[in-house]
């Protein structure tokens, strides 16, 4: 997909499993069925799906989505038919906890899956939520447990699900965006792998010789100047921006705008020497503070000895994952002396 314009705060994103579940719920309701929507709120031990994952159960037992890989869905069908639909209000259900229950439901001993099961009604406001998600908005959904009533608010910069005695709060919409400056070979691998990790991938390169041959299904190619692209993107706390061209005329101005933004990750390819020169340029020629410059990740990626483009792509995405979840990975200690490779741009001395 090629986009030559700048109206791109949130481009249409690919469906994920839980969005597909919501679409199925709305379709089932339109055909006259009653539906229960289940949302994982907490897991202990090993669990097939994380908190926030959803499953829908129709009044005739048909299931959309999954919260356990099939271990507890049959019991959820029984609960939906005999309890939640009859009661008409949300219920909190738990599976696992003790060894007997864990064995029965295929969970590790001591494991726990906790869900909120809510009967879908007009006050659930799923059609409105889907409409807003289709427009590319981020939305906070607040479910009142006592009544099943839902309020929708603009989403913030967090994805944290919260369950209190009175309210379940979930977050929906485009979550993670990755803007790559440069459409070279490295970008081909990064764009493919990043989509598998749930990123909406945008690639910016105004250079004809690189952009012409770029073709990664699902990634959007932008032909605008990188600094204009970053500005138009309106980066937020779910945005990562990585400069990959080695060309200061393209990378530096994009990094200038990125480092001033709330983007959760800003990185640039290059050796430690090149990174030092880049930071010096940015400090001398632009009004970036030391604190803003300290946000620049470079050499980009975890230092794991990566040398080939696909290996470096793995190291970059590993670092993005660590930053997303609040982890700092220390410098590794090689088990044997290694030669720093400037061409690798990740582990160069």
- Note down the domain range covering 321: 175-344
Examine the domain organization and report whether 202 and 314 are in the same domain.
yes
Last residue of some domain: 139, 155, 172?
172
Write the CATH number for 309: 3.40.50.720
Q: What is the mean pLDDT of residues 102-111?
A: 54
Residue 76: the pLDDT is 84
Examine the domain organization and report whether 205 and 137 are in the same domain.
no
Examine the domain organization and report whether 159 and 188 are in the same domain.
no
Cα–Cα nearest to 221, from 250, 193, 256, 184: 184
d(CA 259, CA 138): 23
Share of the chain above pLDDT 70, in %: 82
Residue 134 inside a domain? The answer is yes
Examine the domain organization and report whether 198 and 164 are in the same domain.
no
Examine the domain organization and report whether 204 and 234 are in the same domain.
yes
Q: What is the mean pLDDT of residues 320-342?
A: 73
Residue 13: the pLDDT is 40
Burial class (CB in 10 A: 0-12, 13-18, 19+), 146: exposed
pLDDT band at 155 (very low <50, low <70, confident <90, very high): confident
Residue 13 inside a domain? The answer is no
Last residue of some domain: 172, 190, 223?
172
Give Cα 261 to chain centroid, integer Å: 18
Residue 118's H or E segment, with its range, is strand 112-119
Q: What is the mean pLDDT of residues 181-193?
A: 94
The pair of structure tokens assigned to 293 is: 């410059």
List all residues 6 or more positions away from 62 whose beta carbon is below 8 Å from its beta carbon. 28
DSSP state letters, 255-311: HHHHHTS--SEEEE-S-HHHHHHHHHHHHHHS---HHHHTTEE-S-S--S---SHHH
Cα–Cα nearest to 175, from 203, 156, 150: 156
Write out pLDDT tens, residues 220-231. 999 999 999 999
Phi, psi of 46 (to 5 degrees): -80, 135
The pair of structure tokens assigned to 28 is: 């089932």
Write out pLDDT tens, residues 256-266. 999 999 999 99
Longest Cα–Cα distance in the chain:
69
pTM attached to this predicted model:
0.61
Least trusted range by pLDDT, from 61-70, 136-145, 292-301: 61-70
Residue 125 inside a domain? The answer is yes
Give the chain's domain count.
2
Residue 2 inside a domain? The answer is no
d(CA 26, CA 265): 36
Examine the domain organization and report whether 63 and 50 are in the same domain.
yes
């Amino acid at each position: 997909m090629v986009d030559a314009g700048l109206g791109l705060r949130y481009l249409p994103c690919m469906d994920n499993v839980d969005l597909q579940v919501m679409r199925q719920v709305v379709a089932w309701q339109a055909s006259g069925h009653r539906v229960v929507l289940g949302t994982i709120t907490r897991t202990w031990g090993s669990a097939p799906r994380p908190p926030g994952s959803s499953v829908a159960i129709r009044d005739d037992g048909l299931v959309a989505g999954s919260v356990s890989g099939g271990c507890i869905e049959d019991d959820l069908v029984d609960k939906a038919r005999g309890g939640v639909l009859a009661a008409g209000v949300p219920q909190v259900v738990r599976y696992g906890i003790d060894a007997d229950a864990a064995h029965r439901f295929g969970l590790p001993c001591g494991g726990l899956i906790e869900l909120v099961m809510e009967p879908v009604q007009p006050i659930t406001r799923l059609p409105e939520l889907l409409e807003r998600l289709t427009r590319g908005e981020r939305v906070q959904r607040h479910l009142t447990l006592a009544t099943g009533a839902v309020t929708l608010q603009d989403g913030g910069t967090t994805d944290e699900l919260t369950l209190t005695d009175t309210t379940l709060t979930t977050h929906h919409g485009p979550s993670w965006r990755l803007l790559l400056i440069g459409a070279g070979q490295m970008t081909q691998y990064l764009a493919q792998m990043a989509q598998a990790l749930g990123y909406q991938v945008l690639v910016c390169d105004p250079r004809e010789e690189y952009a012409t041959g770029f073709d990664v299904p699902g990634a959007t190619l932008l032909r605008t100047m990188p600094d204009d692209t970053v500005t138009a993107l309106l980066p937020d706390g779910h945005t990562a921006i990585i400069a990959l061209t080695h060309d200061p005329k393209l990378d530096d101005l994009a990094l200038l705008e990125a480092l001033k933004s709330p983007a959760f990750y800003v990185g640039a390819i290059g050796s430690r020497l090149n990174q030092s020169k880049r930071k010096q340029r940015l400090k001398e020629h632009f009004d970036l503070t030391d604190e803003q410059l300290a946000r620049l990740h470079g050499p980009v990626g975890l230092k794991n000895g990566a040398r080939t483009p696909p290996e470096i792509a793995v190291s970059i995405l590993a670092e993005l994952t660590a930053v997303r979840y609040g982890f700092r990975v220390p410098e590794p200690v090689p088990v044997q002396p290694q030669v720093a490779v400037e061409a690798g741009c990740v582990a160069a001395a």
